[in-house]
Amino acid sequence: MSGSSESNDAEVPTAASPVPSTRLTGRLPTTTPAEAAAIVPETATLLVSGFGGVGYPKLVPEAIAAGDQRELTVVSGGGVGDEIDRDLVESGDMVRRYPFVPNETVRDAVNAGAVAFHDRHISRLADEVRFGGLRAGTDGPTVAIVEAVAVGSDWLIPSTSVGHSPAYVETADHLIVEVNRAQPLELGRVHDIYLRQAPPHRGPIPLDDPLDTIGGPAIRFDPERLEAVVETDRPDDPYEFREAGDTERAIADNLCRFLQAELERNPLLAERVNLQFGVGSLGNALMGGLSDVDFGDREVSYVGEVVQDGLLDMLDGGQLSGASATSLALSADGQARLFDDVERYAADVILRPADISNAPALIDRFGVVGINSAVEVDLYGNVNATHIRGTRVVNGIGGGGDFARNSRLGIITLPSTAVDGDVSRIVPLTPHVDHTEHDASVVVTERGVADLRGRSPRERAEAVTAIADPAFREDLERYRQRAASSGGNTPHDLESAFDWTR
């Protein structure tokens, strides 16, 4: 390995000067992907950057998969790319995964029991890594592999996501940095890095406005732990959003009508509206639908996890004051829009560590309206966001639980059916619960809105049945009648709860 750079090592980017003059600053241990991969022990925990499928290391994980087999626990902030969740699975190197399974390869391995998977709330994961909360399967050294747009001897600037990189860099025994020339240096303008103190000395997060900044663009680290710097020019695989169909547009219309009425009656929204949307095509479509909502003179901001194309549309249309998130999960067109005009967007877009973007205290402080999706919802408002038939995981809870539990108004949106209308996503009793009936305030399908606030369980069941697909309502009504005959505050007919259709 060799170190090389002609720049002044004292040049550390700051909030006042967030864009470094060069990618590599100071004498650095630059090396090849294969040489960097050789640093990873046979048994280790990999802490990889990335969130929403962007900002993750690409060449070093690929080189690990091509080398001698290892037993690795892989921890990311959220979804990452195939170089990690396909190649490391197919090579047999991945034996345990936290906290998300974003593609078919790793999902199949988890559901077959070949890879152990443990789902975690995003807001808690940084602390669990920092303070030893992930006990099982994390023996051996920790190696952080982080993508950056620039690096110095004791600092780096993240690329298209922040995620939990600050905590991973602080915690790791060894640090490998991939410097990606496909990402613009100007991304330093959007980063606001703030690492919280450890309890019991942890104070409040000093944000009084969701669009304030409290840090700078760089993640600092102990230079003794920087083992390798690898250069790459491989871009992120852009997010692919499905075109909104009739169902998505109907859900958006129902949501917008509900929000318009809520603006008139809810004092929480009298002065300002802070919105959060879940990751994915439905969330992106719902953002686009908000152009039909008249917010009056209220300031409207996004306070959530990811910046998607719909948010750029809202920013460009003057509907948003700004967006606070942890990742730029954009399509190819969205990436081009932002990269070509980073300085302008940086005035309105802030990327923070995920334990800040998803912090329960801030979600509560800013009165966030959280809008997330689900696999299914039962008659009483319990939400399954992660498993098919209660057993087969399809993703992970991500930040949905952070916002469902802590938002002042938690909204679940979903189509009323799946599998071309053959399966109802409104069910009597969901066999897997991610968000309990105490967390979901409102459920929206293309069939209507069920406002569950203040309702008894029997009243909730009636409201949820009304927004099911008409093909399944009669069966749901029959189930409710059978359940009611047994009595109870939350009536169930357990003998038919999972086999309730005629």
Q: Nearest to residue 26, comparing CAs of 138, 169, 152, 175? A: 152
- Cα dihedral across residues 304, 310, 312, 313: positive or negative: negative
Q: What is the rounded CA–CA span in Å between residue 441 and residue 455? A: 10
- 383: closest CA among 423, 417, 425, 445? 425
- In sequence order, which residues have a C-beta less than 8 Å from that of residue 159 and are 6 or more positions away? 49, 54, 55, 147, 148, 149, 180, 183, 187
Give pLDDT tens digits along the chain (502 positions): 445 444 445 589 999 999 999 999 999 999 999 999 999 999 999 999 999 999 999 999 999 999 999 999 999 999 999 999 999 999 999 999 999 999 999 999 999 999 999 999 999 999 999 998 887 666 789 999 999 999 999 999 999 999 999 999 999 999 999 999 999 999 999 999 999 999 999 999 999 999 999 999 999 999 999 999 999 999 998 877 777 789 999 999 999 999 999 999 999 999 999 999 987 777 777 777 787 889 999 999 999 999 999 899 889 989 999 999 999 999 999 999 999 999 999 999 999 999 999 999 999 999 999 999 999 999 999 999 999 999 999 999 999 999 999 999 999 999 999 999 999 999 999 999 999 999 999 999 999 999 999 999 999 999 999 999 999 999 999 999 999 998 999 999 999 999 987 5
Our answer to whether residue 186 is catalytic in this structure is no
Instruction: Give pLDDT tens digits for 212-255.
Output: 999 999 999 999 999 999 999 999 988 777 777 899 999 999 99
| Catalytic residue (one of 305, 462, 474, 477) | 305
For residue 409, the Cα-to-chain-centroid distance in whole angstroms is: 19
The DSSP bridge partners found for residue 325 are 351
CB atoms within 10 A of CB 495: 10
Q: Do the Cβ atoms of 190 and 350 come closer than 8 Å?
A: yes
The structure's pTM equals: 0.94
Query: How many whole angstroms separate alpha carbon 390 and alpha carbon 407?
Result: 26
Which residue in the block uniquely carries the two structure tokens 């470094």?
A: 20
pLDDT attached to residue 2:
47
Contacts of 185 (CB under 8 A, 6+ apart): 19, 20, 23, 149, 150, 157
Place of tokens 């005959």: 485
Residue 5: what pLDDT?
43
Please tell me the predicted confidence (pLDDT) of residue 7: 42
Q: Please state, in angstroms and rounded to a whole number, the distance separating the CA atoms of residues 43 and 17.
A: 40
E-assigned strand segments in 379-492:
383-384, 387-388, 392-393, 409-413, 417-418, 423-424, 426-427, 442-445, 448-451
Contacts of 336 (CB under 8 A, 6+ apart): none
Going from the N-terminus, what domains does the chain have, and what CATH number goes with each?
A: 33-232 (3.40.1080.10), 246-485 (3.40.1080.20)
Q: Would you call 233 exposed, middle or buried from its count of C-beta atoms within 10 A (0-12, 13-18, 19+)?
A: exposed
